[in-house]
Amino acid sequence: MEKTTPRAPRIDGHTLLAGVIGWPVAHSRSPLMHNFWLEKCGVNGAYVPLPVRPGQFETAVRGLQAAGFRGVNVTIPHKESAYGIVDRLDRSAERSGSVNTLVFADDGRIEGYSTDGDGFVANVEAHGIPVHGGCALLLGAGGAARAIAASLLDRGVKVIIANRTRARAEALAASLAGITVIDWARAGEVLAECTLLVNTTSIGMEGAGNAAFPLDLGQADRALVVCDIVYVPRQTALLVQAQAHGLRCVDGLGMLIHQAGLGFRKWFGVTAPIGPDVEALLDADLHASRTG
């Protein structure tokens, strides 16, 4: 497929503005994705990277709100600060305990959302896999794990969590009723009863070292769906092992796209045209950055 690169947006007094706040933020693919959608939808808008140093988050957010921005995505290291600045927390943020999307409402208030959990579910369902009932094993106990766990619990999925530091998993379970915690070393023992396996750790991420998973997918039920939220590389060691066992796989790039679409609709008033073209655009950009 020929690579499609979005043209520079037209900027005028009617341009709707949004962006992504982080430190650093130059690596973010969000501007590429959102500006592609804006052009495709014919929306007079622009989405920009916003490098904001630690300690300057609230000043930056208030300034962007005063300057007429529609809202922002929030990434490392500002997610905790974002949770504390909002005037209205959406249920998604309350359940996940985190905020990654801010919307500057017309009444002057700041609304906080967490799109990671619903973005994960939307990506799995886009692969033709219904997310309702069954049992999921989540590896990891960070912010993404909590957001995904909350969305799965809301859909009647039994959630089991294993984390290398058990105390973190216990803390997560204490904040969300319905989670079972098991030791990291015992994760493989529950695979036979699971319909979904989700890696939310950095294991398998490019540059994250050579840590290994405490499981052998040969123990899994043949109906198990294996998901990895890592998308650099798209084919992680976990997914390669899953494919070797004939298991269905869902990589992390689609989660990035679907969680972004939720914010896009709130800022720009139209539904993001999620499809193979934006996936191809991001995939080509990721490939170029690894080989360039």
- Residue-wise pLDDT tens digits, 161-182: 999 999 999 999 999 999 999 9
Instruction: Spell out the CATH class of 16-114+256-291.
Output: alpha beta
Tokens standing for residue 242: 């899953």
219 is in an annotated binding site: no
Q: At residue 125, what is the residue type?
A: E
Determine the topology of domain 117-251 in CATH: Rossmann fold (3.40.50)
165 is in an annotated binding site: yes
Q: At residue 148, what is the residue type?
A: I
163 is in an annotated binding site: yes
80-110 residue pLDDT tens: 899 999 999 999 999 988 899 999 999 999 9
Task: List every span in the chain annotated with CATH 3.40.50.720.
Answer: 117-251
Task: Judge whether 229 and 203 are in contact, CB under 8 Å.
Answer: no
Task: List every span in the chain annotated with CATH 3.40.50.10860.
Answer: 16-114+256-291
291 is in an annotated binding site: no
Model pLDDT, residue 1: 46
Tokens standing for residue 181: 């915690």
Q: Is 40 considered catalytic here?
A: no
Of 289, 278, 266, 282, the closest CA to residue 90 belongs to 266
| Options 3, 40, 79, 158, the catalytic residue | 79
Q: Which residues contact 254 (CB under 8 A, 6 or more apart)?
A: 123, 126, 127, 279
161 is in an annotated binding site: no
Asked if the model's pLDDT at residue 292 lies above 70, the reply is no
191-230 residue pLDDT tens: 999 999 999 998 988 877 677 888 989 889 999 999 999 9
